[in-house]
Amino acid sequence: MDRKELAAQCRAQNYNCAQSVFCAFEDLTGLDRETSLAICEGLGGGFRCGEICGAASGAVAAIGLIVKNKGLPVLKSELVKDMTNEFTKRFTEKEGHLTCRDLLASSEVKLCGKYIADAVEILESILEENGI
């Protein structure tokens, strides 16, 4: 099963957007499902108040762990900073917004499944471009 399918499966199990994206990268974060869910519980719904999209938050939360597990430094890491900036840039370009409230307001239907799939795809391409 690829990561987008795994993320969709997680969403179908009522995981929030952040949890769905973060769990799709468990093979690279090294975390078990329960820990992954706990880390991202408060990130869904844009920090539960409509701010930064949960799908984007889940992807960014995974970046530091993925970099660390590849044996690269993460504290004050330019790589983590650059990957995070690139992710938010691409996500915003693709979706038009970065906040949950704006994403949901810009569409007549909730497109959370699309945002989850796109977040996974964007992070996968950034990891690949960085040899991770």
Instruction: Enumerate the domain spans of the chain.
Output: 3-129
Cα atoms in the Cβ-side hemisphere of radius 13 Å centred on 122 = 29
d(CA 77, CA 60): 14
State the number of CA atoms in the 13 A half-sphere of 62 facing the CB: 31
**Predicted TM-score of the model (pTM):** 0.95
Distances (CA, A) of 104 to 11, 46, 84, 112, 119: 17, 11, 22, 8, 16
> 8-43 pLDDT, tens per residue?
999 999 999 999 999 999 999 999 999 999 999 999
User: Mind listing the pLDDT tens digit for each residue in 44-101?
Assistant: 999 999 999 999 999 999 999 999 999 988 889 999 999 999 999 999 999 999 999 9
For residue 106, what are the β-bridge partners? none
In sequence order, what are the residues at sequence separation of 6 or more whose Cβ sits closer than 8 angstroms to the Cβ of residue 22? 29, 36, 39, 40, 58, 59, 61, 62
Structure tokens at 15: 């995981």
